[in-house]
Structure 1
Amino acid sequence: MTHDLLGRHRAVFPDWLALYYEEPIEITHGEGRHVWDAEGNRYLDFFGGILTTMTAHALPEVTKAVSEQAGRIIHSSTLYLNRPMVELAERIAQLSGIPDARVFFTTSGTEANDTALLLATTYRRSNTVLAMRNSYHGRSFSSVGITGNRGWSPTSLSPLQTLYVHGGVRTRGPYAALSDGDFIAACVDDLVDLLGHTRPPAALIAEPIQGVGGFTSPPDGLYAAFREVLHERGILWIADEVQTGWGRTGEHFWGWQAHGRHGPPDIVTFAKGIGNGMSIGGVVARSEIMNCLDSNSISTFGGTQITMAAGLANLNYLLEHDLQGNARRVGGLLIERLRAAAAHVPAVREVRGRGLMIGIEITRPGTDEADPATAAAVLEAARAGGLLIGKGGGHNTSSLRVAPPLSLNVAEAEEGAAILEDALRSIP
């Protein structure tokens, strides 16, 4: 049955639409932190549909909200008043920390970042954008154009002039050997020098922790130091929180808060986890930035009633059950368990991350050379052991990505860590 579906998939979809595993699986249903495939195999899910199943599979509060809303009305567009959309926007505006915040809903993180770029370039009257090396911001024409990860940027054509800044990867590049303080100072000096050679940019867009890039991040405080330089020149700061938002990092509700010495960003983009699988993305910005567009705009499917109902129920559950605190506690245990296991595996260059957002970088032993074949083999071995994880990285996709639902308990963390340890030890 699965083989037949694979053949049909390949017959109608483009070659570049990737599937995991040598023998791809069809996931048919899930519950809590587990999913099942069409063959009846049960897996502990440590990837959550690419960090999207944020709380749990088949969370009763969310499924009930979706069912009840579907029985009333599913969709009407933004041309009409929409109570669930207003209620979720109010909650997000308050949680964002941005003063006089305005919210615009989209259907994905890509579209959210695309909207943020539109706002920033219009507000600043500039099509120059600063982005981080090793970054990923989506698959639209504009977001591909600012993606600093060659493996995910298929064209150099772009409506924007993009300048790439140092700092998103702490342990690689020309400043890797420096202390954290010196690393930040060197990156700031590089930014100041770069700005001296170009027309004023519209904005810097940055992921607090780079998702597709392999869960890499700078030292805390880098973006606060950047913000001082940017603010002096009127350049906006866009925090791409598509993967880091909603408490996943444990220590903070938003990833930018590790760098928030001078207050919140000018624009925050979000998506993925807020919908717990429903298609929700969005932008939060100060009112004067959000209101700078002087032409009509709507969103046909952004903010549709059924997705907003899911988002409200999911956000309420996350806050009422302190899943941020759970991510900090259980994530801390999981990362230490994985570091202990990796200490005996020469192919593991680094275990990094915070909360329930953990990266394991695989290289050829004794070198910094990426080893994507071995990373893929560990992915396969983990699946064979009953664990689903992801992969990524800016160096030929040689990092494993571990990002379970935020309701993960200690027993499940221990079980997943044991499976992943066995998978790592299977490396020849």
Structure 2
Amino acid sequence: MSELHARHRKVLPDWLALYYEDPLEITHGEGRHVWDAEGNKYLDFFGGILTTMTAHALPEVTKAVSEQAGRIIHSSTLYLNRPMVELAERIAHVSGIPDARVFFTTSGTEANDTALLLATTHRRSNTILAMRNSYHGRSFSAVGITGNRGWSPTSLSPLQTLYVHGGVRGRGPFAGLGDAEFIEACVEDLKDLLGHTRPPAALIAEPIQGVGGFTSPPDGLYAAFREVLNAYGILWIADEVQTGWGRTGEHFWGWQAHGRSGPPDIVTFAKGIGNGMSIGGVIARSEIMNCLDANSISTFGGTQVTMAAGLANLSYLLEHDLQGNARRVGGLLIERLRAVAAQDPGVREVRGRGLMIGVELTKPGTDLADPDRAAAVLEAARADGLLIGKGGGHDTSALRIAPPLSLTVAEAEEGAAILEGALRSTR
């Protein structure tokens, strides 16, 4: 055990998860690569859990942070903050939500917590609809609506949570149906559920479930749900913490794959917008955002230095069409991985959109999850210079692949080749 690992274990919680049998200390990065404390170079296909969205050490972001830090780093929301107003204006514009208001937090957990506060206050209900296999953060309220047993350490909650079918296309009682029939069955299940309870405040849903292993329903499910929700006045919260900012390639927001009924009432975001800086937030229609009848502030949400990073990062993303790059390079990577999977009986499915790709591993000839092999693939990929993630609601047997959106074709091919070798060596 390394000296730093021993110190980590002595002063930090036992439940603070670490990857790898010999945990990795990352010391610096550039582009799509990072280096560890021993000087080993890795192609990064996980980006700090989908957070390094554009590139490591992106000069435009580094410059913006440095210049802002040289002026003032922080003042709280008690004072006017030009970078915060400017970023809020840009996010409101790209959100698709009419008369949008934006509130900044420091994380996706805090963003979802705020969305729950707004929805329950606006609707005068503490009942929340959430998706099975979902993950929304680690706060007390966010854990209470998380539908993934592996990330839900307590059943205690200030909310009543009802879990809905549909977030996982390939498993569960409706898995054998065609897409249209799958959506119809999930909608009928939702209607039946609502017939047995007082109207909930909101449905919160990830367009693509992140920690759940990059699973998603057929396009249009949440639009079909929305028609039912509207009849009851129930709000729709889209958790875009992992899917936002063009990562899925085909759309700027994940909800747009389900968007025939218009934008959500509330959108939460975090991770990629700061490219490593701590930015989260909530976008909502003005009457929802303004429903609170007490004063509030944020000490660290919207601080000047993080807002400067977000502005520079969003500008770079849009000016360099990284959404288009995610669509093009991600499409090639998915096809390359599907070709690899066709030769491996332990790969159940390669799924995803853009540069958000899941590879689900099962024991050959069965639907039984294979978390041991997933862990072994993670180790083998690292040994050959590739960092990936893992997740899933079925014993963490899905590999998660989410590189920075500036990934090149050559880097995609390099990563796919390393992953192919890791899969082959662990059969």
Q: CA deviation at 1:232?
A: 1.1
- Verify the 8 A CA contact 1:280 1:307 in the aligned structure 2: yes
- Report how many residues are paired: 427
1:414 equivalent in structure 2: 413
- Which residue does the alignment assign to 1:278? 277
Distance 2:8 2:345 in 1: 38
Return the offset for 1:346.
Answer: 1.0
Cα deviation, 1:286-319, whole Å, max 9, x if unaligned, reads: 0000000001111100000000000000000000
CA RMSD across the alignment: 0.5
Structure 1 equivalent of residue 83 of structure 2: 84
Mapped to 2, the partners of 1:272 and 1:146 lie a distance apart of 20
C-alpha displacement of 1:62: 0.1
Amino acid at match of 1:326: N
1:261 aligned counterpart, secondary structure? helix
Show the counterpart of 1:425: 424
Query: In the alignment, what sits opposite 1:404?
Result: 403
Per-residue Cα deviation, 1:27-80 (whole angstroms, up to 9, x for no partner): 000000000000000000000000000000000000000000000000000000
Normalised TM-score (structure 1): 0.99
Q: Tell me the residue number matched to 1:60.
A: 59
Matched, 1:93 2:92: yes
Structure 1 ranges of 4+ moved more than 6 A: none
Equivalent position amino acid for 2:267 in 1: V
Shift of 1:426: 1.0
Question: What TM-score results when the alignment is normalised by the length of structure 2?
Answer: 1.00
Q: Is 1:31 the counterpart of 2:42 in the alignment?
A: no
- Tell me what 1:230 maps to: 229
Distance 1:377 1:262 in 2: 43
> Which residue number corresponds to residue 252 of structure 1?
251
| Structure 2 CA distance for aligned equivalents of residues 269 and 384 of structure 1 | 36
Pair 1:121-2:120 in alignment: yes
| Cα drift, residue 342 of structure 1 | 1.1
Q: Which amino acid aligns with 2:124?
A: R
Instruction: Report the AA paired with residue 41 of structure 2.
Output: R
Match in the other structure for 1:379: 378
CA distance in 2, matches of 1:199, 1:189: 17
What amino acid sits opposite 2:344 in the alignment? Answer: V
Q: Secondary structure at the match of 1:344?
A: coil
Q: Which residue of 1 aligns with 2:296?
A: 297
Letter aligned with residue 90 of structure 1: E
Letter of the aligned partner of 2:132 in structure 1? R
Q: Confirm or deny: 8 A CA contact 1:342 1:424 kept in the other structure.
A: no
Unpaired runs of 5+ residues, structure 1, are none
Distance 1:337 1:231 in 2: 41
Q: Aligned partners of 2:395, 2:197: CA distance in 1, in Å?
A: 31
User: Aligned residue for 1:268?
Assistant: 267
Q: How does 1:25-424 map to 2 (within 5 A)?
A: 25-424=24-423
CA distance in 2, matches of 1:423, 1:398: 15
